[in-house]
Amino acid sequence: MKEIIRGNIIDAPALGELRCLPGGCLVLEDGVIREVLETLPEGAELPVTDYGDCLILQSFADMHLHGPQYPLLGTCMDVPLLEWLNRYAFPTESRFADPDYAREVYAMLAAELVANGTTRVVMFSSLHTEGTWLLMEALERAGVTGYVGKVNMDRNGSPVLQETTEQSKRETLRWLEGCGRFSRIRPILTPRFTPSCTDELMAWLGELAGERGLYVQSHLSENTNELAWVSQLHPDCQRYWETYAKYGLWKDHTVMAHCVYSDGTERRAMRDANVLAVHCPDSNTNVCSGIAPVRRMLEEGVWVALGSDIAGGDHLPMLEVMSSAVRTSKVRYMTAGDAPLSAAEAYYLGTTAGHRYFGAGDGFAVGDRLHAVVVDDSTLGPKGEMELPLRLERAIYRAKREQITAVYSDGRKIKGR
Ligand code: GUN
Ligand code: FE
């Protein structure tokens, strides 16, 4: 079916660049963008959904978050990362051994993602196989697309949250077997981080990733105590990234969250391998990690996108993650001199840079299935002349789920009438 969606279109074809089409049109055929037009074509006989003076933005891609930490969201931020994992994150994740609990919590999480316009994710589950399937099911049912990983952790966990190496291998294979039934959510291999996985497990996962062409997600250089720990565990490695590289886990489309302490060498290794660095500004501050050198990564050609990292991060809505990225970049500007991010840059990082992971083009690209949100910003301030870039900036700082009146994911409308 062909149709037209009309409104004030703003997309981000490149870092810091906006394309603004007041009263513009997206021509869709079966959910695929066929044309992007400045005006409604005269005499067009297609059905038109006219969003009037609302903004039509790209939907959001959350490239790093932990589904089973959703119950922790907004609480327990009183200790730094490694203590936080042991004291709060591990016990919280352990509850997802219970399928009834998992079903209930994951339905809430999926609904909140949709309400806030996040249509693509790269997400950690817990180590539980059934729980991970339930997470995938909840996301798929709600209309969220992307990758979810059953976590692997066979050391340094807790009595309530750890596998043996054999269990971890066996359950990973069993989990993968059950993933065929999902169409919009795919599996991604997920060694939690180097301290959580024995060399044997890392090597096995690297081989599996190679054999089956699976992507990999993990954490990298988030915290100084973690870095010291990784050096002790892998004295043969000069830098953290090598602990993944030596087992075949460092490759095209590997997702590495944080990269706060990645130096020039590590950043070059990211760029050369086409590894995605996910910047999680709220988590960087909440668990006192430090603020990732996003500007430097961008200048050096590293692929960077944004993540909420709930529940180290306290904001699930990506609009809020974008404003946090701008705000924390100013802290880096004040402390390290790196040029801060603009709102337009944050919008690019929260949309196009993430959507690329899934093979999408830049901005609203012809040939892509539509991922979009409609923002009614009429209640965000007095009416009056305001250019579209300023309205986008205001939406990033001020819009909540109430202002997101429609959401399109993979060509289908999943929120709004
Ligand atoms: N490193 C290993 N696991 C985690 C986690 O759950 N959250 C964060 N922020 N960092 C991690
Ligand atoms: Fe994380």
Give residue 299 CA to ligand 2 midpoint distance, Å.
24
Residues whose beta carbon lies within 6 Å of some atom of ligand 1: 66, 81, 85, 89, 192-193, 219, 222, 283, 309, 312
- Two structure tokens written together for 126: 């817990």
Residue 383 has pLDDT above 80, yes or no: no
User: Are the C-beta atoms of residues 287 and 77 closer than 8 Å to each other?
Assistant: yes
Specify the pairing of strand 48-58 against strand 2-14.
parallel
84 alpha carbon – ligand 1 mean position (Å): 9
Helix, strand, coil percent content, the chain, rounded in steps of 5: 40, 25, 35
User: What pLDDT sits at residue 233?
Assistant: 98
The residue whose CA is least distant from atom 11 of ligand 1 is 219
**Could you tell me the sign of the dihedral formed by the alpha carbons of 133, 138, 142, 144, in that order?**
negative
29 CB-near residues (< 8 Å, 6+ apart): 1, 2
If we measure between CA atoms, which residue out of 359, 368, 319, 377 comes closest to residue 343? Answer: 319
For 384-414, write each residue's pLDDT tens digit. 789 999 999 999 999 999 999 999 999 999 9
Listed in sequence order, the residues at least 6 apart from 402 whose beta carbon sits closer than 8 Å to its beta carbon are none
Residue 140, sorted as left (phi over 0), alpha (psi -120 to 50) or beta, turns out to be alpha
**Minimal-distance CA residue to ligand 1 atom 9:** 312
Sheet strands (E) in 261-356: 276-279, 303-306
Ligand 1 atom at shortest distance from the alpha carbon of 69: 6
Q: Tell me if residue 401 falls in helix, strand or coil.
A: helix
- Distance, CA 210 to ligand 1 centroid (Å)? 25
State which of 70, 81, 82, 125 you would mutate to test the pocket of ligand 1, scoring each by most atoms of that ligand within 8 A of its C-beta.
81
Written as six digits, the tokens of 263 are: 């130096």
The per-residue pLDDT for range 234-286, each reduced to its tens digit, is 999 999 999 999 999 999 999 999 999 999 999 999 999 999 999 999 999 99
pTM of the model: 0.98
Residue 287 CA, closest ligand 1 atom number: 9
Q: Cα(383) to centroid of ligand 2, in Å?
A: 40
